[in-house]
Structure 1
Amino acid sequence: MIILASESASRRAMLTAAGVAFEAVPARIDEAAVTEGLRGRPVRDVADRLAELKAVKVSLLRPGMVVLGSDSMLELERGVWLEKPGTADGLRAQLRQLRGRPHRLVSAAVIARDGRPLWRHVEAATLTVRDFSEGWLDQYVAACGAEVVSSVGGYHVEGLGAQLFTRIEGDQFVVRGLPLLAVLGWLREAGELGI
C-alpha cells in the first residue's frame, strides 16, 4: 500500500481504477505562498516543487511508507499561470480567459519515503478551448461549478468539461492531475504493486 498526499477526488479515482491500494492523507501545504514564491520560474518547476513538498511532508508523518505527491499547474502563455478559480465568478472569469485559446496543463508526481524524494516525473498536455457562448458558459457553471472551482482550469475532462475543448494533445491522466502511467511504472519496478 502507498500513501497519496492529496484529497483530490480525481487522483483517488485514477489510483482506485488502476487497482492501486492506497490511503489518502492530505499534505495541507500553503500552495498559494509556495506558488507566489516561485513566480518567474518555469511552470514545470512549480508543479514539481509543490508535488515534492506534499510527498516529503506526508512521508515524514508516515515513516517507511511510499508517499505519492502530485500537483498540476495551468499555463495560459509563457509565464502566465491560472490558479484554481475558487468561486463561480472566478470560474466564469477564468473560462473566459481560456475561451478560443490553447493552454498547457503540467502535472508533476514525486514519490518520497522518510522525508527524501525517491523519484519524480513531470508531464504536460496542451488543451485548446472552443469559442463557447455566454449562454453555454452560464449552463456549464450552473451544472458543475461547485465541483470544479477547486480544480486548476475549472474543468474535469472526464465529465461535462470535455465539451469545453476542440483538441487535447497529451495523456488524459496528465490532464486529470496525475501522470499515472509513469507512476504505475515506478511502482511496478519498485515492487510496490504486487501485480
Structure 2
Amino acid sequence: MPALWTPSEKLLLASTSATRLTLLVSAGLSVETQAAGVDERAVEAAARSEGLDPPALAARLAAEKALAVSRRHPERIVLGADQVLACGSAMFHKVANREAARRQLQALSGKSHALHSAGALAIGGGVVESFVATAILAMRPLTEEAIDLYLDLAGPAVLHSVGVYHYEGLGVHLFDSVEGDHSTILGLPLLPLLSALRRLGCLAL
C-alpha cells in the first residue's frame, strides 16, 4: 500500500493534545506523541519582557515545545504547537475552575478575539520550520443564564481549552461569525504545516 509519510520514523508531536493528534492522523500522517514538559508561563513571562506580540508569543511557545522534545530525540522530526488567545490588549489562558471559566466568557462576550496558532518543526535540537496562522472569532452577547447553561452542558472539558470552548463541539453555539481556517481554530494550522513538511521532503503527495 502506498504511504504518504516518507521518513522511516513517525512525526513526533510534542504534545498530548487529543485534538492536534486527531488533526494530524486525519490528514494521513504517521504520528507519535510525547509531552514537552515546558513551563509555558515562564516562557510567556520571558517573551513579554522582550515585548513579543501574541503571534510571536505563540511561535515562541511552539518552538520551545519542539526544541524540548527534539533535544531528547535529535534524530526525529518533532512538531511543537501552541495557541494564544488575544482580545484587545488582554491575553487569555486555560482556566482552573468553573468560576474562572465564567469570568472569561463574560470578558469575551459580545467581542471579537484572535486565536494565533503556531507550529514549529525541529530536527537535531534546532528549529527548521516555523509558522503562525490567525483566526478571528466574534462571540455573540451572552446572558448569565446562557453562560451557565453552556458550562453545564459542556462540563469540565472546557477547562482544557484556552478559550473555554471547543469550537468543534458545543462551543460553536457561542459565536456569530468566524474568519480563518478550521484547523487554526483547533490549534494547529494544517496547511502551513503540510507545506513545511513538503519542503522537508516528508510527504509523497
The residue that corresponds to 2:132 in the other structure is 122
**Structure 2 length-normalised TM:** 0.91
Please state how far the C-alpha of 1:189 moved relative to its aligned partner. Answer: 3.2
For residues 90 and 155 of structure 2, what CA distance do their matches in structure 1 show?
23
Tell me how large the CA RMSD over aligned residues is: 1.2
Are 1:25 and 2:31 matched, yes or no? no
The residue that corresponds to 2:13 in the other structure is 4
The residue that corresponds to 2:7 in the other structure is none
For residues 184 and 147 of structure 1, what CA distance do their matches in structure 2 show?
29
Partner-residue secondary structure (3-state), 1:149: helix
The residue that corresponds to 1:76 in the other structure is 87
Are 1:105 and 2:108 matched, yes or no? no
What number of residue pairs does the alignment pair up?
194
Percent identity over paired residues: 39
The superposition leaves residues 41-85 of structure 1 with CA deviations (integer Å, 9 ceiling, x where unpaired) of 2011111111000001101111211000000000110x3111112
For residues 7 and 144 of structure 1, what CA distance do their matches in structure 2 show?
21
Residue ranges of structure 2 left out of the alignment (5+ in a row):
1-9
Supply the AA of the counterpart residue of 1:4. Answer: L
For residues 58 and 129 of structure 1, what CA distance do their matches in structure 2 show?
36
The residue that corresponds to 2:172 in the other structure is 162
The superposition leaves residues 16-42 of structure 1 with CA deviations (integer Å, 9 ceiling, x where unpaired) of 111111101110100011112222420
Larger Rg: 2
**Structure 1 length-normalised TM:** 0.95
Please state how far the C-alpha of 1:145 moved relative to its aligned partner. Answer: 3.4
For residues 158 and 201 of structure 2, what CA distance do their matches in structure 1 show?
35
Are 1:146 and 2:156 matched, yes or no? yes
The runs of at least 4 aligned residues of structure 1 exceeding 6 Å deviation read none
Preserved CA contact (<8 Å) 1:91 1:145: no
